[in-house]
Chains A and B, each alone.
Chain A
Amino acid sequence: MQSVTVEDAVDMIPHGASVMIGGFMGVGAPERIIDELVRQGKRDLLVVANDTATPSTGIGKLVDAGLISRTITSHIGLNPETQRLMLAGKMTVDLVPQGTLIERIRAGGYGLGGVLTPTGLGTFAEEGKRRIEVDGKSYLLETALRCNFALVHAFLADYLGNLTYALTARNYNPVIAMAADKVIATADHIVPAGVIAPDHVITPATVVDYLVVNT
């Protein structure tokens, strides 16, 4: 794990990168990294995230700035700008059931080719998917997802990069931290190694590549 400034962290992300971003309706989103992506104008991003938040919060800031060309997400209902861009053909939106999306990411991070889920059978979500029978029950084969970068926000990070999360700000963060080539984390508080007890570490430091220093 290496500590970096937010400017240097975002400088590593090229235009056109695929990024997983933590947060649920903006809660637990890495706001400082998102603000810096907007400042540096990183465009044509493929964003994998639960939702696109609301205008001017979390991922909504990337939508507002027109930096996302495609998103794989489960919900855009509270962001009219995402819906407008989608209907205008300016952003591709792949809608995925929420439980399927998080399992596809988990599979990507856990070395699996995909998962079998009953969710979406017989609906729009089945289009283009393989149906597989196991013990007489039908499932959809949902393939694994990985990205170039995972942008994670934690409550506490220690000097080594062990992470722990606060309440509902955990959501996608520990799952995406397993599923990207490079993991960049921000934290509300950075504390000495040992402050987070081993039993309380949710994301082990070894999967965190970069910790953004607090200023």
Chain B
Amino acid sequence: MKSLDAQNRIAKRIARELRPGMLVNLGIGIPTLVANYLPRGMAVHFQAENGVIGTGPAPEAGMSHPTLTDAGGRLVGALPGASTFDSAMSFGLIRGGHVDVTVLGGLQVDAQGRLANWMIPGKFIPGMGGAMDLVTGAKRVIVGMEHSANGMPKIVPTCTLPLTSIKSVDLVVTELAVIGFSDGCATLVEVAPGASIEQILAATPIRLKMPDRLPQMAS
């Protein structure tokens, strides 16, 4: 599967986790694509940590404003009812448990569901930005990432990269599977169309609980 197809499949599946009225924070990368797959007319409030609730698609050329941006600095629009605030309130919303769902990218997730997503020592050091606060404070944390990187599994017994938080994430969605984490255990929840359980087990070197019924990943 091409990377772009994989990323869109992941984003599409994660969009099904969102419900009307939720306050949702999307990270950069695959998570950003999730907004493209919301059912038409579903009112979800998107927060960007630079200080806005109610971001919408970028307006047509020539109608954007340089002071209305998302956390990546990209020009966005705002929906009716949007609000803006300073960074202290933005992180009060995040850390204070007011964000219903955050969707983040991942470099590694361990057997207990602990995420590493902010640095590869000596190589790639972007900084944690808001990721540590989001994992710590959001009511539900969903990771959207490709199942492996350069043939190496990203879901691993123990993260070799620095952790983002010791709090476990709730759900990991890849192009092969949906895996849920609770009480320190991982459960295979759904299998992607065209993927086999053997293929998933081979690419997921952790203990994975199997439910009696294993639905196909919705796409």
Residue positions of A touching B, CB distance < 8 A: 24-28, 50-51, 53-54, 73-78, 83, 86-87, 93, 95, 97-100, 102-103, 106, 117-125, 155, 166-175, 202
Contacts and interface: CB of A to CB of B under 8 A. Distances in A.
B164 A123 contact: yes
Given A166-B67, A168-B67, A118 B95 contact: yes
Given A74-B129, A97-B130, A168-B51, 18 more contacts: A24-B50, A27-B67, A27-B73, A73-B127, A77-B126, A78-B72, A86-B125, A87-B122, A95-B128, A98-B49, A99-B130, A117-B95, A118-B95, A119-B132, A122-B165, A123-B162, A123-B163, A155-B67
Contacts of B122: 87
Interface residues of B, number: 40
Closest 5 CB pairs of A and B: A77-B126, A25-B73, A99-B91, A122-B166, A99-B133
Contact of A27 (B50, B85, B129, B132): B50
B100 to A, nearest CB: 17
B137 A119 contact: yes
Nearest to B164: A123
Contacts of B131: 97
Interface in B19-54: 48-52
Given A167-B65, A168-B51, A102 B129 contact: no
Interface string B165-203: 110000000000000000000000000000000000000
B68 A77 contact: no
Nearest to B94: A99
Give the most central of A117, A125, A168: most B CB within 10 Å: A168
Give the most central of A77, A172, A175: most B CB within 10 Å: A77
12 contacts: A24-B71, A73-B127, A76-B126, A78-B72, A83-B126, A98-B49, A103-B88, A124-B162, A167-B65, A171-B86, A172-B87, A175-B87
Contacts of B102: none
B125 A169 contact: no
Chain A interface, >50% SS class:
mixed
B148 interface: no
A75 B133 CA distance: 13
A122 B88 CA distance: 23
A93 B128 CA distance: 13
Contacts of B163: 122-124
A170 B137 contact: no
B50 A77 contact: no
A97 B88 CA distance: 12
B84 interface: yes
Contacts of B66: 27
B132 to A, nearest CB: 4
B63 to A, nearest CB: 14
A102 B65 contact: no
A1 B131 CA distance: 38
Contact of A97 (B51, B69, B73, B133): B133
Interface string B93-125: 011000000000000000000000000001001
B127 to A, nearest CB: 4
Nearest to A86: B125
Contacts of A100: 132-133
A119 B136 contact: yes
A204 to B, nearest CB: 14
